[in-house]
Amino acid sequence: MGTLMISKIREEYPDRIMSSFSVVPSPKVSDVVLEPYNATLSVHQLVENTDETFCIDNEALYDICFRTLKLTNPSYGDLNHLVSMNDLISEYQQYQEATIEEEGEFEDSHNIQHDDYSREEEQEE
């Protein structure tokens, strides 16, 4: 269902950057038999239809909750919070890179205008 929705969004908005944050199941964390199969089958669609695909290990999320955050019984809300923090960090990094590129373009155009102005002054003299 999710990969179908992503492919439809990609068709509708092909010029938009799309990121995907997917939690990969772990046998230690989940007891649903079909989870690994569904995840394996959906990864191909995610890679094809998104610009960035972040796969996060479910077991690693639980380890972070247990060891780092010292939570004794992490909920899905706790895990979702960790994933959303990754999304924020990724968005911030993309913003920083875009800002640096735009500043470089501005400086290049400013230097060109300054060089043209200097040439005009030299020609007047």
Note the pLDDT tens digit of each residue in 81-103: 888 776 666 666 666 676 666 66
Task: Give the pLDDT of residue 12.
Answer: 94
Task: Give the pLDDT of residue 94.
Answer: 63
- Summarize the confidence of residues 52-72 as an average pLDDT: 87
pLDDT-based confidence at 13, cuts 50/70/90? very high
pLDDT-based confidence at 122, cuts 50/70/90? low
Q: How many C-beta atoms surround the C-beta of residue 82 within 10 A?
A: 18
Q: Please tell me the pTM assigned to this model.
A: 0.57
Contact 57, 29 (CB under 8 A): no
The answer, yes or no, to whether residue 30 has pLDDT greater than 90, is: no
CA angle 14, 4, 39 (to 5 degrees): 115
- CATH number assigned to the domain covering 2-124: 3.40.50.1440
Q: Which of 57, 52, 104, 112 is nearest to 79 (CA)?
A: 57
Q: How many C-beta atoms surround the C-beta of residue 62 within 10 A?
A: 18
